[in-house]
Chain A
Amino acid sequence: MSHAASVHSLWTLAADAPKKIPGPHIEYAQLAPVLIVLGAALLGVLVEAFLPRRARYHAQVLLTVVGLAAAFASVVALAVGGYAHDKAHVAAMGAVAVDGPALFLQGTVLLVGLVAVFTFAERRLDPAVQGRPVDSFAAQAGAVPGGDAEQRAVMAGFVTTEVFPVLLFAIGGMLVFPAANDLLTLFVALEVFSLPLYVLCALARRQRLLSQEAAVKYFLLGAFSSAFLLFGVALLYGYAGTVTYAGIADVVSGNVQTPGPALADTMGNDALLLVGGAMVLMGLLFKVGAVPFHMWTPDVYQGAPTPVTGFMAAATKVAAFGALLRLLYVVLPGMRWDWRPVMWGVAIVTMLVGAIVAVTQTDVKRLLAYSSIAHAGFILAGVIAVSPAGVSSVLFYLAAYSFVTLGAFAVVTLVRDAGGEATHLSKWAGLGRRSPLVAAVFAVFLLAFAGIPLTSGFAGKFAVFKAAAQGGAAPLVIIGVLSSAIAAFFYIRVIVLMFFSEPKADGPTVAVPSPVTSVAIALGVIVTVVLGVAPQYFLDLAGQAAVFAR
Chain B
Amino acid sequence: MENLIGLLVLAPLLGAAVLLCGGRRLDRAGHWVGTLLAAVSFVIGVVLFAYLLGRSGDDRELGVTVFSWVPVGGFRADVGFQLDQLSMTFVLLITGVGSLIHLYSVGYMAHDERRRRFFGYLNLFLAAMLLLVLADNYLLLYVGWEGVGLASFLLIGFWQHKPSAATAAKKAFLVNRVGDMGLSIAIMLMFTTFGTFAFGPVLGGADGAGEGRLTAIGLMLLLAACGKSAQVPLQSWLGDAMEGPTPVSALIHAATMVTAGVYLIVRSGAIFEGAPDAQTAVVTVGAVTLLFGAIVGCAKDDIKKALAGSTMSQIGYMILAAGLGPVGYVFAIMHLVTHGFFKAGLFLGAGSVMHAMDDEVDMRHYGGLRTYMPITFVTFGLGYLAIIGFPGLSGFFSKDKIIEAAFAKGGTEGWILGGAALLGAAITAYYMTRVMLMTFFGEKRWQPAPSPAEPGAEPAAAHGAGELPHPHEAPRTMTVPMIVLAVGSVFAGGLFTVNNAFVKWLEPVTGHEEGHSPVSALTVTAATMAVLVVGVALAWAQYGRRPVPVTAPRGSLLTRAARRDLLQDDFNHVVLVRGGEHLTRSLVYVDHTVVDGVVNGTAASVGGLSGRMRKLQNGYARSYAVSMFGGAAVLIAATLLMRAV
Interface residues of A (CB under 8 A from B): 216-217, 220-221, 224-225, 228, 270-271, 274-275, 277-279, 281-282, 286, 291-293, 295-296, 298-299, 337-339, 341-342, 345-346, 353, 356-361, 486, 489
* The one of A216, A292, A338, A361 that contacts B639, using a Cβ cutoff of 8 Å: A338
Nearest neighbor of A291 in chain B, beta-carbon distance:
B631
* B613, CB-defined interface residue at 8 Å: yes
CA distance A275 to B603 in the complex (A): 40
Residues of B within 8 Å of A, CB-based: how many? 28
Q: For window 595-633 of chain B, which residues contact chain A by CB distance below 8 Å?
A: 603, 606-607, 609-611, 613-614, 616-617, 619, 621, 623-625, 627-628, 630-632
Whether A295 pairs with B628 at a CB distance below 8 angstroms is yes
B603 interface neighbour in A274, A299, A489, Cβ under 8 Å: A489
User: In the complex, which residue of chain A has the Cβ closest to the Cβ of B631?
Assistant: A292
Chain A neighbourhood of B634, CB < 8 A? 292
Question: In the bound complex, do residue B624 and residue A217 qualify as a contact, i.e. CB atoms below 8 Å apart?
Answer: yes
Query: Measured between alpha carbons, how far is A278 from B638 in the docked complex, in Å?
Result: 9
Q: Which residues of B contact A486 (CB under 8 A)?
A: 606
Q: Chain B contacts of A299 at CB under 8 A?
A: 617, 619
The smallest C-beta distance from B496 to any residue of chain A, in angstroms, reads 54
Give Cα A296–Cα B623 distance, bound, in whole angstroms. Answer: 10
Min CB distance, A488 to chain B, in Å?
12
Contacts of A271 in B (CB 8 A): 640
Are B611 and A277 in touch, CB under 8 angstroms? no
Indicate if the CB atoms of A220 and B625 lie closer than 8 Å.
Answer: yes
Given A217-B621, A356-B610, A357-B614, decide whether A342 and B639 contact each other with a Cβ distance below 8 A: yes
A217 contact set on B, CB distance < 8 A? 621, 624
Report the bound CA distance from A358 to B623 in whole Å: 20
* Nearest chain B CB to A290 CB, angstrom units: 9
Among A224, A291, A346, A360, contact of B614 (Cβ-Cβ < 8 Å): A360
B residues apposed to A, CB below 8 Å: 603, 606-607, 609-611, 613-614, 616-617, 619, 621, 623-625, 627-628, 630-632, 634-636, 638-640, 642-643
Which chain B residues border A360 with CB–CB below 8 Å? 607, 610-611, 614
Evaluate contact between B631 and A278: CB separation under 8 angstroms: no
Residues of A within 8 A of B640 (CB): 271, 274-275
> In the bound complex, what is the Cα–Cα distance between A531 and B643 (angstroms)?
41
- Cβ B642 vs Cβ A359 within 8 A: no
Interface of B is mostly: helix
Closest Cβ–Cβ distance, residue B602 to chain A (whole Å): 9
Between-chain CB contacts (< 8 Å), 22 pairs:
A217-B621, A278-B635, A281-B635, A286-B628, A292-B628, A293-B632, A295-B623, A295-B624, A295-B627, A295-B628, A338-B642, A339-B639, A341-B638, A342-B635, A345-B638, A346-B635, A356-B609, A356-B610, A356-B613, A357-B614, A357-B617, A359-B606
Residue of B nearest to A356 (CB): B610
User: B636 touching A279 by the CB < 8 A rule?
Assistant: yes
Q: Is the beta-carbon distance between A293 and B617 smaller than 8 angstroms?
A: no
| Closest partner residue, chain A, to B623 (CB atom) | A295
CB pair B636 A292 closer than 8 Å: no
Secondary structure at the A interface, as helix, strand, loop or mixed, is helix
Q: Closest residue to A346 on the B side, CB-wise? A: B635
Q: Which chain B residues lie closer than 8 Å to A353 at the CB level?
A: 613
| Residues in B whose Cβ lies below 8 Å from that of A361 | 614
For residue B611, which residues in chain A have a CB less than 8 angstroms away from its CB?
360
Whether A359 lies near B610 (C-beta < 8 A) is yes
| Cα-based distance from A292 to B623 in the complex (angstroms) | 12
A232 and B594 CA atoms in complex are apart in Å by 53
CB pair A220–B628 under 8 Å, yes or no, is: no
Chain A's closest residue to B613 (CB) is: A357
Rounded to whole Å, the gap between the CB of B462 and the closest CB of chain A is: 52
* A220 touching B621, Cβ below 8 Å: yes
| Residues of chain A within 8 A of B636, CB atoms compared | 274-275, 278-279
CB–CB A221/B642 < 8 A: no
- With A337-B642, A357-B613 given, can you name 8 additional A-B contacts, CB distance below 8 Å? A216-B621, A274-B639, A281-B635, A296-B624, A298-B617, A341-B638, A342-B639, A359-B606
Write out the residue numbers on chain B whose beta carbons fall within 8 Å of the beta carbon of A298. 617
Least CB distance, B259 to chain A, in whole angstroms = 41
| Cα of A292 to Cα of B603 in the assembled complex, Å | 24
Chain A proximity of B469: nearest CB distance (Å): 57
A342 to B613, CA, bound (A): 22
Given A278-B636, A292-B631, A295-B627, the answer on whether A357 and B642 have CB atoms closer than 8 Å is: no
Structural contact, A279 and B632, CB atoms closer than 8 A: yes
CB closest residue in chain A, given B624: A295
* Smallest CB separation, B237 vs chain A (Å): 37
Q: How far is the CB of A295 from chain B (nearest CB, A)?
A: 4
Q: How far is the CA of A217 from the CA of B627 in the complex (A)?
A: 14
In angstroms, how far is the closest chain A Cβ from the Cβ of B486?
A: 57
Q: Is the CB of A270 within 8 A of B628?
A: no
B630 and A292 contact, CB distance less than 8 A? yes
Most buried by A among B606, B630, B636, B640: B636
Q: Which of B603, B625, B635, B642 contacts A224 (CB 8 A)?
A: B625
Instruction: Determine if B642 and A342 form an interchain contact, defined as CB atoms under 8 angstroms apart.
Output: yes
Which residues of the partner chain A approach B614 to less than 8 Å between Cβ atoms? 357, 360-361
Selected contact of A342 from candidates B606, B617, B623, B638, CB within 8 Å: B638
Report the bound CA distance from A341 to B634 in whole Å: 13
A221 touches B625 (CB 8 A): yes
Chain B residues with CB under 8 Å of A277's CB are 639
Q: Give chain A nearest CB distance to B342 CB in angstroms.
A: 53
Known contacts A295-B627, A357-B610, A357-B613: A282-B638 contact under CB 8 Å: no
CB distance from B372 to the nearest CB of A (A): 64
- Chain A residues lying within 8 Å of B610, measured Cβ to Cβ, are 356-360
Q: CA A385 – CA B528 in complex, angstroms? A: 79
A225 to B613, CA, bound (A): 23
Residues of A within 8 Å of B628, CB to CB, are 221, 224-225, 282, 286, 292-293, 295
CB contacts (< 8 Å) of B631 on chain A: these are 282, 291-293
Report whether B639 and A278 are in contact in the complex, using a CB–CB cutoff of 8 Å: yes
From the candidates B607, B623, B632, B642, name the one contacting A228 in the complex (CB within 8 A).
Answer: B632
A337 to B643, CA, bound (A): 8
What chain A residues lie within 8 Å of B621 (beta carbons)? Answer: 216-217, 220-221
Q: Tell me how far the C-beta of B632 lies from the nearest C-beta in chain A, rounded to whole angstroms.
A: 5
A167 CA to B616 CA in the complex, in Å? 32
Asked if A282 meets B632 with Cβ closer than 8 Å, knowing A221-B625, A338-B639, the reply is yes
Which chain A residue has the least Cβ–Cβ distance from B619? Answer: A299
Minimum CB–CB distance from B207 to chain A (whole Å) comes to 40
User: Which of chain A's residues have a CB closer than 8 A to the CB of B606?
Assistant: 356, 359, 486, 489
Nearest CB in chain A: distance from B263 CB, A? 38
Q: In the complex, what distance in Å separates the CA atom of A281 from the CA atom of B643?
A: 17
